[in-house]
Structure 1
Amino acid sequence: EQGRSVRLEQPLAKVVLSSAKRTFDAYPDLDLTHFGEERTGFYDIIAASSLPVMIDADDCYDQQAPKRCDHLKGKQLVSVNAMVSKIRAALAARSESEFFIIARTDAIEAYILDEALRHGTSPCVNIFEGGGHIPWVSPNELYKMGFSMILYLTIILFRVTYAIEQAIRDLIGGKQLSLKDSVNFQIYEDIVGLSPWKEIEKKFHHED
């Protein structure tokens, strides 16, 4: 499912975001799984996209363990110095110049504004927007505020979850598939890129 989602996003996105913690294992985002358990899913996403892929490596943030989803309350943060030290360690371990690291902070919710600004200006500034309890702000408004990258983490996830739930309810209720709520098989073939594979099959097919 991750690979198909990536193919849908490619015409619209500049970067593919792997929100693995929310989709691979169906567990809540309460620090129950980590990068090691999720890396196979990351490989699937990278293989399905020609875009840069942003992956949650699960430690460039300023929360104390156990980490909580940014939409959940009760987060506690480490000091600014501890957070900066983690970022420096990640940079030192980087083996390729094209590999870039983005740090995140949850300080705006856990601290008063002055302390939140200290956390936000020490590492790279970024914003995670959309869904949950975070208020909606349009991309144009965020750009005017000075943000150059916006990560919509939950909008597509919540819609897909709703669509799956509705499809199951329709099946249980004996309701026929409606193309108003679905793609047809031809569109699906285009999404998964069937045509190039048919050409490969035709080129190398051998009959005895």
Structure 2
Amino acid sequence: MKRTTQLRRILEQGGPGTVPGATDCFTARLIEQAGFPAVYVTGGGTANTYLGAPDIGLVTLNELAGLVERIADAVSIPVIADCDTGFGGVANVRRTIRAYERAGAAGLHIEDQIFPKRCGHFEGKTVVPARDMCYRLQAALDARTDPDFLIIARTDARAVEGFDAALERARLYRDIGADAIFVEQPRSVEELRRIGQAFPGEVLVANMVERSKTPLLPTAELAAMGFRIILYANAALYLGAHAIREGLAVLRSAGTTESLLDRMMTFGERQQLVGLDRADAYERDLAARVDRRAPAPNGQ
């Protein structure tokens, strides 16, 4: 089954629910191993890890699409990806959709900020006129070749024009044909609840950003409000950074990692996660099959 179709079926059943973000294949495999039904490729986290830079629109189409391709190749679950504003005008949006389809994404979200954009939870954002976003969105819908490829319309207008204006934009984007709605940065439980009430039965996205603008709510509570995709875009990044920082401090002071062994993945677990056993088994099988069909000449 295509992973685009797989994602659609998961959504029909009310999920996927919690979708953690990854900025590399190793983390994506950990997310799959933990049992999550989908993984998210975060643009902000990619800027942080790939460039060591803030999320201010520095990551390019080729850089993000390349990461999506590698992650989609590394896991078997659907990949939902950030594509910022589509990286330019409507021609750029069309190219972006095709690149993400080729990369193996099951869907993406595109937003209504100006280009270059800023992180959805930063101050100082600017949104384009709603009609310009409709042009972007229509270009995205026209460009996809797989009708199951999920196109999520994100509005950042809450922080710029207010909550009611954000809902109006979201309704407009839904009417253009977006498969899912993503109102970024709601600032209260009541606002989250109102989003669900405004779009009953629609596929809704919530973005849980720790210690930021939107209150953290359990997935079950958000699902009861109507949210089917709950992004934890950078939870793995925060968790990993905290552990790395603490571990490096110990290594710096003690000169050894011996006291950290019970807090570290083992060498064997690491190789199992990346599939060393499968790679070795394939080489043994290949050699056996070739040797049976083409025995080596005498003396070789």
TM-score (norm 2): 0.64
Q: Please report how far the alpha carbon of residue 81 of structure 1 lies from its aligned counterpart in structure 2 after TM superposition.
A: 1.9
Separation in 2 of the partners of 1:127 and 1:88? 23
User: Aligned to 2:80, what secondary structure does the other structure show?
Assistant: strand
2:282 maps to amino acid = I
Separation in 1 of the partners of 2:252 and 2:45? 26
Aligned to 2:74: 48
Deviations 1:108-145 (A, max 9, x none): 22222221211222333222113241321110111111
Q: Please report how far the alpha carbon of residue 36 of structure 1 lies from its aligned counterpart in structure 2 after TM superposition.
A: 2.2
Considering only aligned residues, what root-mean-square deviation do their CA atoms show, in Å?
2.0
Flag the structure with higher strand content.
2
Structure 1 contact 132–154 (Cα < 8 Å) conserved: no
Deviations 1:38-79 (A, max 9, x none): 322222111101111112222221112331101211111122
The worse-fitting range, judged by mean Cα deviation, of 60-69 and 164-173 is 164-173
The worse-fitting range, judged by mean Cα deviation, of 17-26 and 78-87 is 17-26
Structure 2 contact 31–39 (Cα < 8 Å) conserved: yes
Q: Determine what percentage of the aligned residue pairs are the same residue.
A: 30
The worse-fitting range, judged by mean Cα deviation, of 54-63 and 170-179 is 170-179
Deviations 1:6-38 (A, max 9, x none): 111114222211114423222110012221233
2:70 maps to amino acid = D
Aligned to 2:121: 71
Q: Please report how far the alpha carbon of residue 161 of structure 1 lies from its aligned counterpart in structure 2 after TM superposition.
A: 1.4
Flag the structure with higher helix content.
2
Aligned to 1:203: 285
Q: Which has the higher contact order (CA 8 A, sep 6+)?
A: 2
Aligned to 1:183: 265
User: Aligned to 1:68, what secondary structure does the other structure show?
Assistant: coil
Aligned to 1:4: 26
User: Aligned to 1:82, what secondary structure does the other structure show?
Assistant: helix
1:34-45 equivalences in 2 (<5 Å):
34-45=60-71
Structure 2: which 5+ runs fail to align? 1-22, 86-109, 174-179, 182-204
Residue 38 of structure 2, aligned match among 3, 11, 15: 15
Bigger Cα Rg: 2
TM-score (norm 1): 0.90
1:166-177 equivalences in 2 (<5 Å):
166-173=246-253, 174-177=255-258
Separation in 1 of the partners of 2:269 and 2:59? 35
Separation in 2 of the partners of 1:21 and 1:66? 13
Aligned pair count?
A: 208
Q: Please report how far the alpha carbon of residue 98 of structure 1 lies from its aligned counterpart in structure 2 after TM superposition.
A: 2.9
Separation in 2 of the partners of 1:140 and 1:78? 34
Aligned to 1:194: 276
